Amino acid sequence: MDYSWYMSMKRTNVYADPEDLAIIKEAAKRRGISEAEIIRQGIHLAAMANRVWDEPLFSRTFEGPGRTLSKPEVRDTVAEAVRRENGPGSGSAA
């Protein structure tokens, strides 16, 4: 087996609830993976849930009527915004 990934990890100690550890032990046995792998997955999920992104998920906003638009209305609204952004005579937005 290739354990090159192991060298890039950092060891740490944490305190955990015994009931949580029992659940992890049972899940690891059922899934056929190590308890450490489940804990690493949990740490990754916690890290991603608490990450602060440099940019917002949606960097553009479009004006609308304040109600849910139909599919053609969304297409037309986005196309109009692209035309405004690109200026007149930039061709059709397809």
Give me the pLDDT at residue 65, please.
74
Mean pLDDT in the chain?
84
Quick one: pLDDT at residue 52? 86
At 8, is the pLDDT very low, low, confident or very high (cuts 50, 70, 90)?
Answer: confident
Q: How far apart are CA 93 and CA 86, in angstroms?
A: 10
Query: According to the model, what pLDDT value does residue 1 have?
Result: 46
Q: For residues 29-53, give the mean pLDDT.
A: 93
Distance CA(82)–CA(69), nearest Å, equals: 18
Single pTM value for the model = 0.52
